[in-house]
Each structure stands twice: as C-alpha cells, then as structure tokens.
Structure 1
Amino acid sequence: MTTRTARSSGGRRRHGPSHAVPRGRQGRGPVWGAVAALAVLGAAGFVAVDGSPAGTGAAHAGARGGPTERARSGLLGGTGTAHRSPSPAPATTSASPSPSPSTSPTPEIPATGPGTFATAPGDSTRVGSGRLLRFRVDVENGIDLSTADVARQVERILADPRGWTAGGNSAFQRVSSGPADFVVRVATPGTVDRICGRYGLDTGGEVNCDVGGQVMVNLKRWLLATPVYAHRVKDYRALIINHEVGHFLGHGHVGCPGAGQPAPVMMQQIKGMHGCLPNVWPYDAKGRYLTGPAVT
C-alpha cells in the first residue's frame, strides 16, 4: 500500500489536504456548525458515497498525474461524494437519478467505533485502461452498512464513463485479498478523526481524508451528505470517492472556473459553490476534464 503525505480539503495544503485541516491551524468554525445543523434538519432518512453542503463543496486542486508518495485528505464530497450514473442534466452533472425526499427518521450515527474493519468479499472486473490500481473496500465493524452494497457503489463510481478512467491513464479493480494500492474505508467520525489525525489532519468529526493509501469516508457524510446534496445523497457519495481518489492520483484542489459552470470534482465544494453548479464527476459526458484555477 502506498504511503503518502497528508492533505486536507478544508484548509491549507500540507502536500495537499482535501477536506481535513492540519491540526492546530484551523478550527471547525461556523461553517461546520451550519453544516451539522443543516445535515440533521435537511437530510433525514438518507442511507448509505463525500460531497458538499448546500452552497458549499469539497476538493483538492492539483496537477494531473499518477499516484505520488504522498497521503492526501479531503471531503469528496465528494467526496462529493463517492455519491451516479445516467447522463447529466444540462445544468447539473449527476451520478444517478435523484432520490425522492424521505420521510424516514434521521439515522443514528455512532460518534465512534472500534477502529476495526470488515472487508467486502469478492473481486470486480477491471475497468479502464492504463495503470491498474487495485483497491479494497472496508466498513468499520459495528456500522449498520452492508460491505457488499458499499463495494458495489464504489465500483459503479469508479467505472462510470465520466470518472477517472476517462483520462485513459488509470484502470481500477476491486480485490478482497492480496496487494491493494489503496483502500476505501467507511468509518465513524471518531475513527476517521483518529486515523487522519495520525497524519496531522483535523477532520473535526465532519469530513473525509485520504492518507497513507486510505480513502477515509466519514459515515456522517456517507449517510447525510451536505445541504447542497441533501436530496442527492448517492451523487454526493460519488463526489467523495472521486475527490479523494483524485488526491490519490496526484490532483490538488482547484477553484470554480466561472459562474454557471460545473464545479470541478477537485474543488472544495464544501466551502461554497462560488457560482458554480453542483457536479460530482471529473469529466463531462463528452470526455472533457473539468477543472479550474489551482488553489494553493
């Protein structure tokens, strides 16, 4: 598993974080208070990929290229989230049809867990061309999520024609044993904080990170997304996965390219859309890479 330098998507780059922030540099601030309140009030009932809150977003800006010897972190809101997949609407790129608002109660999210993980069984077929990257999908023990279901969602995101395979440089295959280049882990906020904190990142119980070959997905974001994606939770999961895997591939944070344009997946949408439209894919339906000005 590749060792990397940490990044956080919510603060300054330390070799590039995506949503987490270096410890001691920045507190949660008013944005996270608003996100938490809006997530509880507006995202009830959405269940089990990092994105961005309403009017905000997450991402890393950076040069394109292969994996580097650095660990990165960030909300994909992705990532984002990793939440994907009919053709995008003219104004908005989406990963899958938007779910209808739910009347179910807000799911209970444990504050922390044991820090041990169950791995999704089986292997997937290879998707894409270029360098093959093998990945594993883990879910923290004690979380009421199916490892097989989470693995299917991550596979669909990475196989989407608007995903990272569109560049022709990367191929992906999920494995359940043997060597893996990176692992996608869905974990409780406390466990994400502990693992990301080992690399000097402060995820504040709210965001995701990419460190040491681990794409750490905060359970809170996986289930509740953010205000902007509150009714498109699966789209947000695509943002989480695409954003954090983008860091793994060597991409840093970028800004909004202009009002009315799709937000790049490596934009920190959690911090605000800045006139851009919600988007969870690195490429558009015509195979064009969506980016913006680099953020340092």
Structure 2
Amino acid sequence: MSIIEKAASRIENKKGEAQGALAGAARQADSLPPAPPAAVPDAVTTATAATPAPAAAPLHAPRRTTNHVELDLERMHGIGLVTAAGGRTTLVEDFRIIKRPLLKRAFAARAPGDKPGNLIMVTSSLPGEGKTFCSINLAMSIAMELDHTVLLIDADVARPSVLRTLGLPAHRGLMDLLLDDKLDMSDVMLRTNVNTLSILPAGSNNPRATELLASQAMSTFVYEIANRYPDRVVIFDSPPLLLTSEAHVLASHMGQIALVVEAEGTTQHAVKESLRQLEGCSNVNLIYNKTREFPGTETYDYHYG
C-alpha cells in the first residue's frame, strides 16, 4: 500500500471514530432529565429595558443667570442712599423730582436717528462730586416705580465704585463682556433682592478701555440692552468728563446725560468745559447736589442744561 493510500485510510478511520463519539453523546443527552425552563427577567429589568431613552436637550436652551446678591438696605439707608424702606425723606422726594422728566423722555416717541432715551449716563466734571451716589440713588428711585425695571451699569472702568459703595465684592462685568464674545449677559449681571434692580459691574481693569467702549461690540451691547425689555431704564455711572476720554466715548451712545455739579465745589470753568465736551449730545441736564438749605442737611436739584 502506498503512503498516500495509508494516509487516506487513516483519515477515514478518524472520521468514523468522530461520528461514533457524536452518536454516543447524543444518546447520553437523551437519557438526561430535561433542563429547567429559562428564568423570566424580573419586573425591574423588563421595565428598564422598555423605558425609552430620554429626549436630547435642545441645542439652544435659554441661559439662566445664577448671580444673585443681597443689598443691605439698612446699611444703604444709614449712609444716605435711597431705599423703599427709608420712608418719605427729603432725599427720596428730591430723586422723585429728578427722575420724573428723565422717565418721561426715556419712553417718549423717538425720531429717526435719535439715541434710545432709556439709556441715561450720569457723569461729573471731576471725581468726588457725587456722581456714583446720584447714579445709585437714581437707580433705586426708578426701581420703586411700578412699571419699570432698572439696570445700573458701573462704566467707570478705571475707578469702579458702585459695588464698593453698596458693600459688595468685585465681580466680572462690562469689560469682560466686551473682551470675551463667549460670555453672556447672564454670566456677569447681578440680580438683587430689589426685584426691579439689576447691576452690571465694571469688571476687569483694561488699558484699552476707551477703544473697547468705542468698539462695535459696545455698540451691539448698547443696542441690545436698550431694546431687549420695553420697560427697562439703563443707568451708566460714567467716568468724570475732564479726567478720561472714556466718558466722551460713552456719551455718544446715550439718549440722556445728567451732569452732576457739586454745590460750592465744582467751578464754573469745569462746568463750562464739561458742557463743551458734550456738545452734539442731546438732552444734557444738570443735577446740582449737596446744596445745604439748613445746617446738617443736603439736597439735590435738577436743571436742564
């Protein structure tokens, strides 16, 4: 027998052995008791498997602010700021008189090309004349209205003082918003326990503040805040006019300007120079503050410039 024939015979023998082993295994399986039925999945597993996947979140879900601060109204009243709980004081009455023509003009019909009247800049000729004090008091007085909300913006980016005056810590704000297009207004705006008042801090100090305030980003921002809510008044606490260039740039966006003049403090020359810098700006008015009618009292007055 040849080698090939021997190999073929060996393969056939192995094939026969394998078939025999399979037949034996089948007979052995037939003699075993039947297997128990498969376990039924429990109710929890079945319910979980049947639960549909949660719907995907919308791609453009509205962003909600989480920044909330508590104003210490008793402290504010103690340092001479307007508060609703302060009663009918001379200060409260003064700012009621001051705000009335500003509010009337804020929501009057605008001619084509006019700046939004609800954008009000409060400034002064020099530091220390009370512009931040007037800005906060004006904002608090308007917040007491039944039909309006107020956004107070600290735009004195070189020497911000709104948060410090209110006893609040520093926070991101206007400059950060203009520098980072990924920031949203809700990321930097502070809601307060006065429901109708919100605050936008000055934010990070920046050497390019003047260029940022004159940028397209600032124009877009101003347009948005002026038109987003029909009942909103926006008050800008501006830098002094005679020390920085930011105030002049900021004034170009405003519908109304209030120039704070300190009684027996601001010189006539400073007032004239400030008004000269505001030439071309409509609705420039004067707040004559710290007048002393009686010893130990200070009052405010409002005049058209």
TM-score, normalised with respect to structure 2: 0.25
TM-score, normalised with respect to structure 1: 0.26
Structure richer in helix, relative to its length = 2
